[in-house]
Amino acid sequence: MSDEEHHFESKADAGASKTYPQQAGTIRKNGYIVIKNRPCKVVEVSTSKTGKHGHAKCHFVGIDIFTAKKLEDIVPSSHNCDVPHVNRTDYQLIDISEDGFVSLLTDSGDTKDDLKLPTDESLLKQIKDGFAEGKDLVVSVMSAMGEEQICALKDIGPK
């Protein structure tokens, strides 16, 4: 998929901005940051100086929250970085279709059918097995910068 397309989408989406500027010095470990136009979770921050008597700069190591790729960036700590707006929504799992799509129940009672199951084998198995056992499963869907993905799974027990 092309990042450019999403970018245009986000510009058109008035009101709910996809990213916010934030001073690099205030971004900490476990927070989020946009590196190379990808939403990342920060797993490491370190500071250093530019030259002996220069100003501080921050070195970020982030993991793309969707693709799990590792990305790095260096920003002067008084400058601004983009921070993605990461949202999570819980849906009840209604069905898993043959082609790997899931059917989810939204708060308003509609169904949401455009999400694919994770591709990773073990995760897939966890969901499928749980569903097959007839457990009541709630999935958390994480969305940021126009992408979304299942990020967590919770057994809410028998009704």
Partner 1 sequence: MQGFSDGGADLGQLQTTMRNIEVACTSIQMHINPAAAEATILSLSQSPQPYMACRFILENSQVPNARFQAAAAIRDAAIREWSSLSTEERRSLISFCLCFVMQHASSPEGYVLAKVSSVAAQLMKRGWLDFTEAEKETFFYQVNQAILGAHGIDVQFIGVNFLESLVSEFSPSTSSAMGLPREFHEQCRTSLELNYLKMFYCWARDAALSVTNKIIEPNAVIPEVKVCTAALRLMLQILNWEFRNDTTSMKAGIDVFSAGVRHDNGSSKRSECVLVQPGPAWFDVLISSGHVSWLLGLYAALRQKFSREEPYFLLWIDPPDVVSKAIEEGKSESEMLDGCRALLSIATATTPFVFDQLLKAIRPCGTLSLLSTLMCEVVKVLMTNNTDEETWSWEARDILLDTWTILLVPTDGSGGDALLPPEGKHAAANLFSMIVESELKVASASVTNDDGDSDYLQASISAMDERLSSYALIARAAIDVTIPLLTRLFSERFARLHQGRGIIDPTETLEELYSLLLITGHVLADEGEGETPLVPTAIKTHFADIAEAEKHPVVVLSGSIIRFAEQSMDPEVRATVFSPRLMEAVIWFLARWSHTYLMPLEETNCLSNDYQQHHSVNSKKALLSFFGEHNQGQVVLDIIVRISVMTLVSYPGEKDLQGLTCHHLLHTLVRRKTICYQLVSLESWRNLANAFTNEKSLFLLSSANQRSLAQTLVLSASGLRNSETANQYVKGLMAHMTTYLVELSNRSDLKSVAHQPDIIMSVSCLLERLRGAASAAGPRRQRAMYEIGISVMNPVLHLLEVYKDESAVVYLLLKFIVDWVDGQISYLESRETAAVIDFCMRLLQLYSSHNIGKISISLSSTLLSEAKTEKYKDLRALLQLLSSLCSKDLVDFSSDSVEAAGINISQVVFFGLHIVTPLISLELLKYPKLCHDYFSLLSHILEVYPETLAQLNSEAFVHIIGTLDFGLHHQDLEVVDMCLGALKALAAYNYREICAGKTGLVSAGLGNLPEGIFSRFLRSLLQLLLFEDYSPDLVSAAADALLPLILCEQGLYQKLGNELIERQTNPALKSRLANALHSLTSSNHLSSRLDRVNYQRFRKNLNSFLNWQNKRNGWFRFLWSFLNFSMHLEALLLVV
Binding residues vs partner 1 (CB under 8 A): 16-17, 19-20, 22-26, 28, 30-32, 41, 43, 47-56, 58, 63-65, 67-68, 70, 76-79, 83-88, 118, 120, 123, 126, 140, 142, 150-157
Please answer whether residues 95 and 102 qualify as being in contact, where contact means their C-beta atoms are separated by less than 8 angstroms: yes
**Minimum Å distance from CB 83 to partner 1?**
4
* Distance of alpha carbon 132 from alpha carbon 62, whole angstroms: 35
- The residue among 7 and 85 lying less far from partner 1, judged by its C-beta, is 85
Place of tokens 């097995």: 129
> How many helices (H) and strands (E) are present in the chain, helices listed first?
2, 11
**Minimum Å distance from CB 103 to partner 1?**
18
At residue 12, the 3 state secondary structure works out as: helix
- The residue among 48 and 111 lying less far from partner 1, judged by its C-beta, is 48
Nearest residue to 116 (alpha-carbon basis) of 106, 131, 101, 104? 101
**Minimum Å distance from CB 2 to partner 1?**
21
- The residue among 12 and 16 lying less far from partner 1, judged by its C-beta, is 16
- The residue among 97 and 123 lying less far from partner 1, judged by its C-beta, is 123
**Minimum Å distance from CB 34 to partner 1?**
10
- The residue among 52 and 109 lying less far from partner 1, judged by its C-beta, is 52
Place of tokens 């199951």: 117
User: Can you list the positions of beta strands (E) in 27-146?
Assistant: 32-35, 38-49, 56-64, 70-76, 80-84, 87-96, 101-105, 111-116, 137-144
**Minimum Å distance from CB 96 to partner 1?**
14
